[in-house]
């Protein structure tokens, strides 16, 4: 109307003022022109208000349609599809009218063509309506439209409506600028034409009032639209940061709009810390021209401390002369409900993914631990929970965990809920929704076996949808555990079936074999496949055996079980003794369903029994009769000789130095030697003769049917020659001699035991005479035995009477002559036999075992005597192998040191090489314990035995003593010198000191010094002397010099 009234008023003014001067006419003309310009401005304003009203109607229709769609999706109030389509169609028609510059729906006449920005925004609204309609159509016909796609389409449509409002507001501001410039021109004109201005002001005021009313109506409608859509307007001055907002924005944030002061800094402070950087960057990018529009979703704090999700959309509407932005106008939309819905939907999707991943894990897992660990990890990772763990009630406790491991306090807090869930067999949820427990049932008949415990993050409580899906997961876990348990039982049963040492078979009621294990197939000679479908009578193909098998099967049908021994046949026809146990298995109705049999092969057992019977009367290595069997055979041979008036002989044989060979080359070589001896003995015997191995390297021969003693001699000589031949063992040729003792029946005894005893005595005489020969039992042997017995009794008396005494031979440093110690040497002065050489009584002491108590005396006396020596001197004492084998040598040494008070560092124990080979483990253990006390060790007579460098290194001795036999020949014999030099070099390489005994000449000392020997002992310095003489001798030695007189 305003646009049509202004020209009429101008014509009326021209007619009433026609008589005025030309100036007045010109003023009226100008006034008319100004009126026309203002009418044009008013029409432009109407063209702005009408689209604003139309865009508000678009927003209202979209908002109502969105609310009805939410109701439709939530399954609440019934919404007629036509009403929803009608609202969307109205919104489309209004947007189309705005794009074409028409606003008939709002009651405003057509205006000039809208701006390009408004047209594009209106077209964007029309385009955004199409996905909404399509999604709603798919939802109604059930072809795949889901809630998320509908909500996303509505969100896009709301954004398009907001963009349309911004475009219209932008156009309004540009129109405002044009009207302001026009106003300035009118003011300028009014200063020239005061009269005309008054008339213009009257018209202007009226027009402004109408425009203000229209604008107020439009703003009211816009405000209603914004409030319905939970939107707020903002106008930001980018220069000074001042922000103007509407009341809806303040209420949206929970503030009183009258006291709310908006500013850019306040807006930035309300941004969530996690979103602030992203939002500010989006704003900077838009203001810098790096993106076409400003659009950001973020969380903002409210007055009560909550976080509200907002969608901000804005556009620059004013720039300075340099093109820099000055003002930014836009809207804030509350999208919290939409965000929560999206988050919930994403969470449910994650739960479905978790459930799917759990099912895949159930299919792929091969063990209980793998299943539980992967389920917990998948549930925690995909479901977005803080932690997930599984607690089994079979003693395993917390067996798997995903996410953050629960603390002791959390486990304690969860225990009550776990117990409640297991008792109720129902899921349990904590009051704060942070913890949920789901019982796991592996076997429905046995109740609850464990629990799935889920702890939510602090910002997301567990909801009912979570409970439903997690309860389903717990059920799947229980099923999987039960399945794994059953599979494990089946695998175990199959493994047991296949791994059983006994044969197993299962047959049907028709006695056809259904399955056998590998052991059954192996013992029968058939394959597992061969037995499948075969009849059980294959075990007994012979008619007699088959009849026996039928009888026992019939007995099984009657009694349900049978066991016993049967004789079957292998595939190759060989007899197969079996122990068979068969049980008839019946089903629930009592009908025979299967035969189950257990079979044991008795072949090895019977062979073992035969072997045991053989070994009970024979030697296991050689196969020769043992002593008991030989005694029985001897009774027959001697009875025959007694009847015929002939003679018989018992020969005791012993392999000379067998122990040394056995230790040197190993027990396998010793066994080979003994077996070869047995073969040669059997080859030498006649039909009436017998051979026996009675133990170790001892053999006994029984000769019968002899004419005279000469026949025994001839046989013995030939036998010695045969046994003297070397035995080949690998690359070695083992050669040794044999000693034989002979007793003749009836001169030397009337029974086997007496003859063997006399033969053993003769054997001892043969070995004493030098080995490698034979001796007959008789007078000289009895005399030697009596002498040996007398010497043994004399040594026992000497221990009681104190007839033993110790002599000491000094040991000196070969380089400076310093006396380092002395060796204790045992002496015996017998009242009846006089002064006896150690070579006579020491062997008897060794054989009788008296060396053990004699050794105790030597240790105790040597320690007592050494206490009187200078502290730099040590005493060396020889040890026998029997001292290690009999009693506790460590306790003996400890007692001697304690009784005498001698420091352990001043005692040196000398070991022989043969001792190293006797029982290396026992010797090494004792040596280690004594070394811990401080006792030192050396090897005596090194080089005369069979040395073991491994044992030497293990014992960690400190000295090697070169035997006197090598030292005495060092000047004349090249071999002796080479041996001495080799021993010295070996000692140096092992870090040991070397002492040479038996040095009697100064030249020997000089050569030993050149070769690098460290110490020396011998007549060249001093002979062995009593303890008192040693104390007198020591002060005379200042610098040791060779002296044969000492």
Q: What is the pLDDT of residues 357-391, one digit of tens each?
A: 777 777 777 777 777 888 887 777 777 787 888 87
Mean pLDDT rounded to a whole number for the chain: 80
Helix 779-801 to helix 838-848 angle (10° resolution) is 90
Helix (H, G, I), strand (E, B) or coil at 618: strand
Report H helices in 101-115. none
Distance CA 291, CA 578 (A): 93
Q: Provide the pLDDT confidence category of residue 873 given band limits of 50, 70 and 90.
A: very high
**Predicted confidence (pLDDT) per residue in 386-407, tens digit:** 788 887 766 456 777 777 778 7
Maximum distance among all Cα pairs of the chain, rounded to whole angstroms:
199
> Does the pLDDT at position 351 exceed 80?
no
Mean pLDDT value of segment 146-172? 81
* Residue in this structure with the two tokens 């924005």, named with its chain if needed: 249
3-class SS letters over 346-371 = HHHHHHHHHHHHHHHHHHHCCCHHHH
The predicted structure's pLDDT at residue 559: 84
Instruction: Could you list the beta-strand ranges (E) of 397-461.
Output: 397-403, 428-429, 435-440, 450-455
Distance CA 918, CA 911 (A): 12
The angle subtended at Cα 915 by Cα 912 and Cα 917, nearest 5°, is: 125
Tokens of 787: 């002498």
> Tell me, which fold does domain 500-607 have in CATH?
Beta-Lactamase (3.30.450)
Give the per-residue pLDDT at 1041: 46
Q: Is 820 a residue whose pLDDT tops 90?
A: yes
Place of tokens 């389509």: 85
pLDDT at 564 over 70: yes
> What pLDDT shows up at residue 267?
92
Position 673 pLDDT exceeds 80: yes
How confident is residue 208, by pLDDT bands cut at 50, 70 and 90? low
Residue 402: phi, psi to the nearest 5? Answer: -125, 145
Residue-wise pLDDT for 725-761, tens only, equals 888 888 888 888 899 999 999 888 889 999 999 999 8
pLDDT of residue 228: 46
Q: For the domain 789-1036, what is the CATH code?
A: 3.20.20.450
- How many angstroms separate the CA atoms of 644 and 647, rounded? 9
Three-class DSSP category at 1022? coil
d(CA 490, CA 17): 119
| String of DSSP letters for 828-873 | EEETTTEEEPHHHHHHHHHHHTTHHHHHHHHHHHHHHHHTTS-TT-
**Which CATH number fits the domain 340-494, given the four candidates 3.30.450.40, 3.40.50.150, 1.10.10.10, 3.30.9.10?**
3.30.450.40
- By residue count, the chain amounts to 1046
Residue 294's beta-bridge partner residues? 314
pLDDT confidence bin for 131, thresholds 50/70/90:
confident
Q: What is the pTM of this model?
A: 0.36
Which parts of 259-324 are beta strand (E)?
A: 294-301, 307-319
C-alpha–C-alpha distance, residues 740 and 698, integer Å? 10
pLDDT grade for 987, boundaries at 50, 70 and 90: confident
Q: For residue 774, how many C-alpha atoms fall within 13 Å in the half-sphere facing its CB?
A: 21
Report the DSSP pairing between strands 959-962 and 993-997: parallel
Answer yes or no: is pLDDT of 537 > 90.
no
Most confident segment among 119-128, 171-180, 219-228, 976-985: 976-985
Whose tokens are 């008792």? That residue is: 423
Domain chopping of the chain, boundaries:
1-229, 340-494, 500-607, 618-776, 789-1036
CA distance 181 to 478: 81
Distance CA 244, CA 262 (A): 6
Query: Tokens representing 442?
Result: 């592996």
Mean pLDDT of 757-766: 88
* Res. 109: pLDDT tops 60: no
C-alpha angle 321-326-332 in degrees, rounded to nearest 5: 155
831 Cβ partners below 8 Å, 6+ apart?
Answer: 803
> Which pLDDT value is given to residue 1013?
94
Q: Is 298 helix (H, G, I), strand (E, B) or coil?
A: strand
Give the pLDDT confidence of 634-650 residue by residue, as tens digits: 888 888 888 888 889 99
695 pairs with which residues across the strands? 698
Distances (CA, A) of 79 to 243, 581, 654: 41, 80, 119
Residues ≥6 apart with Cβ < 8 Å to 701 = 649, 650, 651, 653, 681, 685, 689, 690, 691, 692
Average pLDDT over residues 589-616: 84
Residue 8 — pLDDT band, cuts 50, 70, 90?
A: very low
Specify the higher pLDDT residue, 228 or 702. Answer: 702
pLDDT for res 104: 46
Residue 120: Cβ within 10 Å count: 14
Q: How many CA atoms lie within 13 A of 128 on its CB side?
A: 25
Round to whole Å and give the CA distance between 362 and 476. Answer: 8
pLDDT tens-digit series, residues 44-60: 555 556 677 777 777 78
For tokens 């959390």, the residue is 410
Q: Which range among 398-402, 597-601, 846-850 has the greatest average pLDDT?
A: 597-601
> Of the given ranges (152-156, 331-335, 682-686, 716-720), which has the lowest mean pLDDT?
152-156
Structure tokens at 511: 């006695």
Give the Cα separation of 1013 and 993 in Å (integer).
Answer: 8
Task: State the pLDDT at residue 1022.
Answer: 92
Residue 445 reports pLDDT greater than 60: no
Q: Is the peptide bond before 746 cis (omega within 30 degrees of 0)?
A: yes
Q: Look at residue 150 in the predicted model and tell me its pLDDT.
A: 82
Read off the pLDDT of each residue in 479-483 and give the average, rounded to a whole number.
Answer: 77
* Whole-number pLDDT of residue 98: 82
Residue 161 has pLDDT above 70, yes or no: yes
Work out the percent of the chain whose per-residue pLDDT is above 90: 21
Among 135-149, 152-166, 496-510, which stretch is predicted with the lowest mean pLDDT?
135-149
Hey, how many other C-beta atoms are within 10 angstroms of the C-beta on 859? 25
Quick one: CATH architecture of 618-776? Answer: 2-Layer Sandwich (3.30)
Residue 866: C-alpha distances to residues 403, 852, 906, 1021 (Å): 76, 21, 8, 19
Residue 7's pLDDT is 37
Enumerate the β-bridge partners of residue 594. 585
pLDDT value of residue 3: 35
Which tokens go with 140?
């109604």
String of DSSP letters for 334-349: E-HHHHHHHHHHHHHH
| Residue partners of 1032: CB distance under 8 A and separation at least 6 | none
Q: Mean pLDDT, to the nearest integer, of 432-460?
A: 73
Q: Give me the percent of the chain exceeding a pLDDT of 70.
A: 82
Do the domains 789-1036 and 618-776 match in fold? no
Mean pLDDT of 909-913: 82
> What pLDDT sits at residue 868?
95
Do the strands 774-776 and 804-813 form a parallel or antiparallel pair, or are they unpaired? unpaired
């Amino acid at each position: 109307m305003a646009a049509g009234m202004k020209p009429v008023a101008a014509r009326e003014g021209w007619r009433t003022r026609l008589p005025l001067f030309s100036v007045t006419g010109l003023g009226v003309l100008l006034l008319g022109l100004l009126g026309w310009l203002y009418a044009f401005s008013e029409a432009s304003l109407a063209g702005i208000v009408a689209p604003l009203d139309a865009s508000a109607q678009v927003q209202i229709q979209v908002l109502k349609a969105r609310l009805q769609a939410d109701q439709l999706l939530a399954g609440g109030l019934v919404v007629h599809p036509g009403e929803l389509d009608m609202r969307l169609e109205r919104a489309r028609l209004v947007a189309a009218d705005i794009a074409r510059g028409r606003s008939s729906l709002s009651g405003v006449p057509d205006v000039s063509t809208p701006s390009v920005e408004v047209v594009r925004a209106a077209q964007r609204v029309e385009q955004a309506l199409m996905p909404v309609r399509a999604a709603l159509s798919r939802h109604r016909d059930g072809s795949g439209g889901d809630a998320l796609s509908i909500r996303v389409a509505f969100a896009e449509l709301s954004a398009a409506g907001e963009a349309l409002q911004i475009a219209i507001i932008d156009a309004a501001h540009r129109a405002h600028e044009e009207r302001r410039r026009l106003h300035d021109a009118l003011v300028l004109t009014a200063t020239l034409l005061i009269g005309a201005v008054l008339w213009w002001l009257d018209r202007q005021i009226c027009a402004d009032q109408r425009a203000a009313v229209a604008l107020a109506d439009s703003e009211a409608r816009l405000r209603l639209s914004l409030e319905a859509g939970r939107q707020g307007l903002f106008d930001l001055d980018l220069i000074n940061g001042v922000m103007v907002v509407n009341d809806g924005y303040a209420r949206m944030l929970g503030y009183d709009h009258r006291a709310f002061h908006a500013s850019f800094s306040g807006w930035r402070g309300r941004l969530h810390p996690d979103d602030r950087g992203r939002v500010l960057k989006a704003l900077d990018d838009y203001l810098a021209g790096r993106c076409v529009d400003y659009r950001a979703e973020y969380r903002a704090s409210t007055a009560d401390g909550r976080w509200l999700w907002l969608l901000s959309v804005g556009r620059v509407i004013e720039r300075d002369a340099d093109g820099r932005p000055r003002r930014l106008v836009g809207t804030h939309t509350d999208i919290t409900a939409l965000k929560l819905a999206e988050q919930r939907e994403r969470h449910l999707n994650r739960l479905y993914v978790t459930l799917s991943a759990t099912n895949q894990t159930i299919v792929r897992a091969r063990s209980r631990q793998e299943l539980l660990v992967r389920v917990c990890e998948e549930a925690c990772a995909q479901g977005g929970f803080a932690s997930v763990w599984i607690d089994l009630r079979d003693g395993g406790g917390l067996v798997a965990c995903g996410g953050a491991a629960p603390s002791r306090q959390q486990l304690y807090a969860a225990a009550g809920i776990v117990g409640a869930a297991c008792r109720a067999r129902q899921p349990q949820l904590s009051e704060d929704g942070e913890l949920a427990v789901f019982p796991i049932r592996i076997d429905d008949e046995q109740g609850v076996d464990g629990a799935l415990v889920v702890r939510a993050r602090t910002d997301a409580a567990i909801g009912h949808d979570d409970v439903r899906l997690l309860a389903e997961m717990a059920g799947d876990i229980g099923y999987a555990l039960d399945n794994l348990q059953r599979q494990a039982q089946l695998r175990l049963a199959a493994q047991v079936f296949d791994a059983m040492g006994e044969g197993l078979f299962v047959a049907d009621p028709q006695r056809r074999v259904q399955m056998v294990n590998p052991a059954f197939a192996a013992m029968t000679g058939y394959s597992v496949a061969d037995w499948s479908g075969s009849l059980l009578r294959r075990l007994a193909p012979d008619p007699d055996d088959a009849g026996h098998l039928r009888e026992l099967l019939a007995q099984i049908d009657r009694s349900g079980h049978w066991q016993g021994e049967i004789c079957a046949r292998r595939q190759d026809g060989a007899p197969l003794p079996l122990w068979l146990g068969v049980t008839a298995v019946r089903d629930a109705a009592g009908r025979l369903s299967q035969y189950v049999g257990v079979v044991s092969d008795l072949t090895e057992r019977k062979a073992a029994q035969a072997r045991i019977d053989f070994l009970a009367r024979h030697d296991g290595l050689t196969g020769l009769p043992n002593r008991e069997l030989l005694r029985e055979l001897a009774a027959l041979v001697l009875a025959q000789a007694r009847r015929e008036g002939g003679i018989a002989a018992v020969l005791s044989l012993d392999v000379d130095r067998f122990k040394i060979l056995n230790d040197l080359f190993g027990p396998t070589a010793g066994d080979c030697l003994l077996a070869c001896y047995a073969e040669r003995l059997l080859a030498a015997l006649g039909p009436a003769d017998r051979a026996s191995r009675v133990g170790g390297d001892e053999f006994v021969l029984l000769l019968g049917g002899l004419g005279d003693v000469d026949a025994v001699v001839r046989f013995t000589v030939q036998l010695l020659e045969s046994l003297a031949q070397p035995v080949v063992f690998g690359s070695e040729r083992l050669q040794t001699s044999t000693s034989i003792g002979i007793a003749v029946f009836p001169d030397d005894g009337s029974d086997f035991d007496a003859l063997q005893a006399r033969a053993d005595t003769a054997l001892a005489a043969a070995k004493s005479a030098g080995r490698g020969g034979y001796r007959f039992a008789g007078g000289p042997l009895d005399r030697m035995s009596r002498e040996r017995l007398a010497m043994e009794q004399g040594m026992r008396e000497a221990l009681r009477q104190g007839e033993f005494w110790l002599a000491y031979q000094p040991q000196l440093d070969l380089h400076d002559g310093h006396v380092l110690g002395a060796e204790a040497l045992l002496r015996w002065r017998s009242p009846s036999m006089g002064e006896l050489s150690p070579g006579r009584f020491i062997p008897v002491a060794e054989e009788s075992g008296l060396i053990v108590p004699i050794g105790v005396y030597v240790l105790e006396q040597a320690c007592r005597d050494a206490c009187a020596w200078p502290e730099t001197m040590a005493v060396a004492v020889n040890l026998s192998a029997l001292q290690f084998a009999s009693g506790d040598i460590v306790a003996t040494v400890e007692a001697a040191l304690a009784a005498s008070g001698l420091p352990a560092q001043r005692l040196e124990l000398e070991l022989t090489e043969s001792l190293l080979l006797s029982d290396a483990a026992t010797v090494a253990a004792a040596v280690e314990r004594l070394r811990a006390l401080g006792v030192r060790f050396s090897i005596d007579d090194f080089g005369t035995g069979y040395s073991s460098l491994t044992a030497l290194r293990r014992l960690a001795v400190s000295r090697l003593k070169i035997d006197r036999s090598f030292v005495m020949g060092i000047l004349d014999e090249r071999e002796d010198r080479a041996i001495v030099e080799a021993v010295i070099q070996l000692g140096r390489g092992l870090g040991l000191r070397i002492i040479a005994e038996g040095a009697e000449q100064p030249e020997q000392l000089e050569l030993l010094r050149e070769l690098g020997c460290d110490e020396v002992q011998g007549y060249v310095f001093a002979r062995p002397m009593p303890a008192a003489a040693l104390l007198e001798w020591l002060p005379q030695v200042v610098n040791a010099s060779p002296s044969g007189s000492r």
